[in-house]
C-alpha cells in the first residue's frame, strides 16, 4: 500500500503566498505555519459506508470537503463541510466491519495555533509535527447535526463544536481504517477526529479524491 508523502507541495506554497483568502497577516509576509497547516488539510474526501434498503444493499460514500474559510473571518481558517449521506429511508447504515455509521451534517470553521511563532522553517515544522502525530485545529465556530443515518437530517440532534478540537493526521498503512479505504486509488488517506466541548466525538477515515 502506498504511503502519502509528508512533503507539502511547493505549488501550494506559491498559492498560499498569492491568495488573499489565506494570507491575512501582511502583504509582505511569506507563508507561515498557519498557512502550511491549513493548506495541507484541504481536499475533497470520501469515506465508504454500506446502507440497507429493505433487501437491497447499497454501497456509498460520505463526503467531507475541507477548503479555505471565508475572508471575513477575524483569523485564518479552513471550512470543513460534512455532507448528508442521503440514506433517508434506509433500515441501517454501517461500515465494512458492521459498526453503525451516523449521519453528520454541517460546517466547522477551524484555525491552527503555531507551535513556534518565530520559526524560519514553518513548512518543515508542519512536516515534523505530522511525523509525530495529527495536526490539531481549534474550532472557531460551527454546529453539526449528528444521529441516525436513516433519519431526516433536520431531525438530528445539533451539537455546537465551537471551542472544540479537530485532529487530522495520516493513517498508518495496514491499519483497519486504511484497509477500509482500499477501493480508493488516492494514496492520501487520513483520519479526522472532532470533539465538541460537551464531549461529543466523531471519527472518520478519509481518502482524498480531490486535492484543493
pLDDT tens digits, 78-106: 999 999 999 988 999 999 888 999 999 99
pLDDT at 29: 67
Residue 2 in this model has a pLDDT that exceeds 80: no
The fraction of the chain above a pLDDT of 70, given in percent, is: 85
- pTM of the shown model: 0.84
Range from 90-99, 140-149, 192-201 carrying the lowest mean pLDDT: 90-99
Question: Which residue blocks in the chain are alpha helix, DSSP H?
Answer: 10-18, 33-41, 122-132, 176-180
Instruction: DSSP for 53-115, please give it.
Output: ETTEEEEEEEEEEEEE--TTSSS--EEEEEPP---TT-SEEE-TTS-B-EEEEEEEEEEE--S
Residue 212 in this model has a pLDDT that exceeds 80: no
Q: What are the residue ranges spanned by the domains of the chain?
A: 10-210
Residue with the bigger pLDDT between 51 and 11: it is 51
Mean pLDDT of the chain: 87
CA angle, corner 117, sides to 112 and 123, nearest 5? 70
pLDDT tens digits, 10-50: 334 434 444 444 444 444 468 999 999 999 999 999 999 99
Backbone angles phi, psi at 57, to 5 degrees: -110, 125
Amino acid at each position: 500500500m502506498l504511503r502519502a508523502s509528508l512533503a507539502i507541495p511547493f505549488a501550494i506554497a506559491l498559492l498560499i503566498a498569492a491568495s488573499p483568502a489565506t494570507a491575512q497577516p501582511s502583504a509582505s509576509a511569506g507563508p507561515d505555519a498557519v498557512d502550511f497547516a491549513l493548506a495541507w488539510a484541504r481536499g475533497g474526501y470520501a469515506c465508504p459506508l454500506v446502507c440497507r434498503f429493505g433487501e437491497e444493499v447499497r454501497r456509498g460514500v460520505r463526503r467531507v470537503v475541507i477548503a479555505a474559510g471565508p475572508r471575513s473571518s477575524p483569523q485564518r481558517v479552513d471550512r470543513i463541510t460534512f455532507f448528508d449521506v442521503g440514506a433517508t429511508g434506509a433500515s441501517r447504515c454501517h461500515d465494512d466491519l458492521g459498526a453503525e455509521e451516523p449521519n453528520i451534517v454541517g460546517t466547522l470553521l477551524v484555525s491552527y495555533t503555531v507551535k513556534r511563532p518565530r520559526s524560519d522553517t514553518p513548512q518543515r515544522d508542519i512536516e515534523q509535527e505530522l511525523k509525530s502525530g495529527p495536526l490539531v485545529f481549534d474550532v472557531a465556530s460551527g454546529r453539526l447535526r449528528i444521529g441516525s443515518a436513516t433519519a431526516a437530517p433536520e431531525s438530528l440532534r445539533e451539537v455546537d463544536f465551537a471551542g472544540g478540537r479537530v485532529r487530522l493526521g495520516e493513517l498508518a498503512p495496514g491499519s483497519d481504517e486504511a484497509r477500509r479505504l482500499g477501493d480508493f486509488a488516492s494514496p492520501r488517506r487520513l483520519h479526522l477526529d472532532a470533539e465538541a466541548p460537551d464531549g461529543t466525538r466523531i471519527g472518520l477515515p478519509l481518502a482524498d479524491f480531490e486535492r484543493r
